[in-house]
Amino acid sequence: MKKLCWKILLLPLFIYFIFFSYSLASATETSTETISANQWFNSQRINVFIILIVFFAFVLYFIQKAKRGGSLFVRRIAGLDAIEDAVGRATEMGKPILYISGIEDMDNLQTVASMIILGNVAEMVAAYDVPLIVPVCLPFVVTVAEESVKQGYAKAGRPEAYNRNNVRYLTSEQFAYAAGVNGIMLREKPAANFMFGSFYAESLLMAETGLSTGAIQVAGTANIHQLPFFVVACDFTLIGEELFAASAYLSREPKLLGSLKASDLAKFLIMVMLVFGVLLETFGITKFTYWFFVQ
Amino acid sequence: MGTEEIIWNGVAAFLVLCIYTFLYKDNPFYKFAEHLVVGVSAGYFAVILYYNGFVPKLITPLKQGQWVYIIPAILGMMMWTRFSKKWSWLSRFSLAFYIGSGTGFAIPLYMQNYVLRQFSSSMLPMGFSSWALFCNILIIVGVLSALVYFFFSKEHTGIFGGTAKIGIWTLMIGFGAGFGLTVMGRISLLAERVVFLREYLLELKYYLYLLFKYGLPL
């Protein structure tokens, strides 16, 4: 198996060197006439292609490892432990829980991560018998949110407790959505607000209103410009990649844990290559940096 | 400003004030403005989707004989099966197709824009003037320690924990700068609304003056 993994890792490098040497050789020839044509492959993005193949090889390796029962340690993430506390608090207070999944569609990775977390939150909520309100901004996300919540309730063994009316489409307009969510926060007074996904200028409007109602707030986004608002207005904030790690942390599913471990290994390699690149740059060798440059 | 403009700008000014009443507490004026904006925008987006999505991306290509567009049309119609308990499972094909293709498009873009661009920009030489050297070291240390913070495979203890702490401090300094920048942007939005209300009141005063003096609407 190890040999196979090494082959998977080395194959793209081998392909690249063949391709790179070919492109260097062809670059020396003088072109006379060029005719443009549709192409299936953008050779200027070969670096993205190779890095993705290497990353996917890592993911597949760690998924296999997780499936075989190998121990994959994930450190404690404080914000995620707070979710269960918040659900417990809502149960004690007899108040609902509000889950906001951001304002981007399902083609955004943050929304996908948010839907996985929603499934886990729904499972937790079903066990405690607390209403879970999910106001949604985009029509397609409504259907995915319904599925996630329904599956969460089914996993908890309480499919009959699922209330379809609690997954609500509000509007696709950003600030109208924020106004609608604020209205829900003020009138239904949820004990906990969870905000996971892709947020923009509406983030502070919602987080500030939630703060004023006294709800426990846990938020997470990878939109760097909105993180400061969540940091100041929420009790716990998942910063950037913690949002993607959350789904693996909560579910402990081999597939998700495998991708989390793979991203850790990729980060380690990035750090090593960064130090290496800095040294090369200092000695005036720029080819290494140029390889990672994306046009 | 004519009568029509006075009326419509008056509606806008009234709705702005309705929204600002939220600063006091939830009240019927805010509720009215909130429901109006949510309802109007939902209806508006339905029309926008029809004219910007349904017509140019389905009806027009089909009229031009591009029958391949039948496939997304069928996938779209399968979403309607959600209303039937018996057939709702069909909608999962559409969901799977959309999420799968969306993620497939997004992953290379994320790798390109959020990893490779930043990675290549962080490989900075250490051999310029002392100030540039200091700045480059600061950037590299910041990047490395922030990456350490996002390691999930190891507990944040010892040297590793200390480095992660530098990483979170780096992030927080960045967030502070971002917060200040955005707050300034929000204040300019507030200033724009205040200017609008002030100008409207001046125009209204002038309009009423003319109305009472000459008895003629402009």
* A137-154 confidence digits (pLDDT tens): 998 899 999 999 999 999
Ramachandran region of residue B37, left (φ > 0), alpha (ψ -120 to 50) or beta? alpha
- In angstroms, the CA A66 to CA A59 distance is 10
pTM: 0.84
B91-102 pLDDT tens trace = 889 989 988 998
- In angstroms, the CA A292 to CA B112 distance is 9
ipTM summary value: 0.83
Q: Which of B38, B45, B125 sits opposite A180 (nearest CB)?
A: B38
Of A62, A106, A70, A54, whose CA–CA distance to A270 is shortest? A54
Minimum distance, in Å, between the CA of residue A254 and any CA atom of chain B: 15
**Does residue A214 sit at the B interface (CB-CB below 8 Å)?**
no
User: How many CA atoms within 13 Å lie on the side-chain side of A83?
Assistant: 27
pLDDT of residue B114: 86
B67-92 pLDDT tens trace = 999 999 999 999 999 888 899 889 88
Judged by CB atoms closer than 8 Å, whether chains meet at B44 and A175 is answered as no
Q: How confident is the model at residue A24 (pLDDT cuts 50, 70, 90)?
A: very low
Give yes or no for a contact between B19 and B199, defined as CB atoms under 8 angstroms apart. Answer: no
pLDDT of residue B99: 87
pLDDT of residue A262: 92
Ramachandran region of residue B90, left (φ > 0), alpha (ψ -120 to 50) or beta? alpha
* Residue A53 token pair: 């193949």
Residue A30 has a CB neighbour count (10 Å cut-off) of 4
Of A250, A251, A248, A221, whose CA–CA distance to A236 is shortest? A221
β-sheet with A216-221: strand ranges across: A167-169, A132-136, A97-102, A192-198, A216-221, A236-239
Q: A167 forms bridges with which residues in the sheet? A: A134
Q: Which of A107, A183, A186 sits opposite B105 (nearest CB)?
A: A107
- In angstroms, the CA A214 to CA A130 distance is 18
B47-59 pLDDT tens trace = 998 999 999 999 9
Judged by CB atoms closer than 8 Å, whether chains meet at B101 and A245 is answered as no
Minimum distance, in Å, between the CA of residue B5 and any CA atom of chain A: 24
- Is the pLDDT at B195 greater than 70, yes or no? yes
B104-136 pLDDT tens trace = 888 888 888 888 988 988 998 887 678 888 888
